[in-house]
Amino acid sequence: MANHAFLSASASHRWLNCPPSAKLCEGMPDEPSPYAQEGTDCHELCAYLVEKALGKDVADPREHLSYYSAEMQNCAEEYCAYVLEQLEAAKKYCADPMVFIEQRLDFSRWVENGFGTGDCIIVADQVLQIIDYKHGLGVLVEAEGNSQMMCYALGALEAFDGIYDIEEVSMTIFQPRRDNVSTCRLKRKDLLDWADMVLAPTAALAYEGKGEFKAGDHCQFCKAKAICRKRAEHNLEMARYDFAMPDTLDEIEIAAILPRIDQLIAWGNDLKDYALSKAQSGTHYEGFKVVEGKSNRKYTDEEKVAKTVTDAGYDPYEKKLLGITAMSSLLGKKKFEELLGSLVYKPPGKPALVPESDKRPAINTAAEDFNDKTDMEEK
């Protein structure tokens, strides 16, 4: 049995938006990533802590985890505490809720050979709860409209709907390194309607390699993102934008360009990385060559350097207060808040121009500040 489904829940955001991408990526090798392995390690630690807390006899995995750290331990403990809180809360719906850790979930009723692994499933009368741990720091993951979570919820419904009287599903993303606990609740009927009207027909197209290619933010984790022609066309439209007429862009034109800039930069970087990899393997690109980049000097033996400098009568070390993240990892979040909560502040962040759909509140611009001042003077 394959470890990963062809149409996996974790990649559903991509193949639901771009059905033929699944076939396009089939057979392309997975690029190993230390971030992915770190996430895998933390998932294993999370599962161990929860199962141990539930009284199960499970082996401690920490000795063989490649990326185990104090921060990982803290994250896993926070996740474990959250799961136990939710399990306790489920008892208000029924006296005997069930909890399943790293549960295989089959949603092949809607997606051919579709299955995945749910980090935590809590089953009770009325509410079925899915909790998914995310260790990533770079991308904030939301539960609202999250197709991976919805596929997991469908698999859980298939498995447990006959045992409990489930009316609603609650789907939670637990992402401690971003202080993000995002929950979305859906009526059972609404989830099943989405599965029948959106998931199943789109999955059928994707399984056959049919449908339309479409570029967008779902390209981020696509294995074909560097060489996909549709993505290239999508971004080259931006690159071909006529900047010469008129000599300067007006506000409407800039507003039209802004949403595409990040995608254009990301595509350019993906293409450069792909071309470098191919060039290092022997592919020649007319007008380009592979050279050695800039590097910085390094010590050959740090211990020997320290001893040599110490013997010469100097102190080779510098003392520096740990940063907030490192200090939090050292103390644990609870102890950190207890000891240092009153000694920490958060200054205003650097202004950033983002789409209006961003959940952060808008800050006053210079024009708004001027208007506010004028209003006050008039009063």
Q: For 158-168, what is each residue's pLDDT tens digit? A: 998 878 889 99
pLDDT band at 282 (very low <50, low <70, confident <90, very high): confident
User: For the ranges 65-74, 202-211, 253-262, 310-319, which has the lowest average pLDDT?
Assistant: 253-262
Task: Please indicate whether residue 146 or residue 358 has the higher confidence score (pLDDT).
Answer: 146
Question: Cα separation of 225 and 21, whole Å?
Answer: 9
**Contact between residue 1 and residue 113 where contact means Cβ atoms under 8 Å apart:** no
State yes or no: cis peptide before 201, omega within 30 of 0: no
User: For the ranges 19-23, 29-33, 105-109, 196-200, which has the lowest average pLDDT?
Assistant: 29-33
**Domain ranges within the chain, ordered by starting residue:** 12-208, 225-280
- The conformation of residue 137, written as its DSSP 8-state character, comes to S
Residues 225-268: tens digit of each pLDDT: 888 888 888 878 766 655 545 566 778 878 877 877 888 888 88
**Residue 202: per-residue pLDDT:** 95
**Residue 174: per-residue pLDDT:** 96
DSSP character string of 38-96: HHHHHHHHHHHHHHHHTT------GGG-TT--HHHHHHHHHHHHHHHHHHHHHTTT-S-
CA distances from 212 to 7, 163, 264 (A): 16, 40, 21
**Residue 157: per-residue pLDDT:** 94
pLDDT above 70 as % of the chain: 92
**Extended beta strands in 223-312, E state:** none
pTM to 2 decimal places: 0.72
Q: Tell whether the model's pLDDT for residue 270 goes beyond 90.
A: no
Residues 336-360: tens digit of each pLDDT: 989 999 999 988 888 887 788 777 8
Task: Please indicate whether residue 183 or residue 358 has the higher confidence score (pLDDT).
Answer: 183
Question: Cα separation of 167 and 85, whole Å?
Answer: 21
By C-alpha distance, which of 2, 9, 3 is closest to 118?
A: 9
* Domain 12-208 top-level CATH class: alpha beta
pLDDT band at 1 (very low <50, low <70, confident <90, very high): very low
Tokens of 258: 């802004």
Exposure class string for 154-184: b at 16+ Cβ within 10 A, else e: bbbbebbeeebebeebbbbbbbbbbeeebbb
Q: Tell whether the model's pLDDT for residue 377 goes beyond 80.
A: no
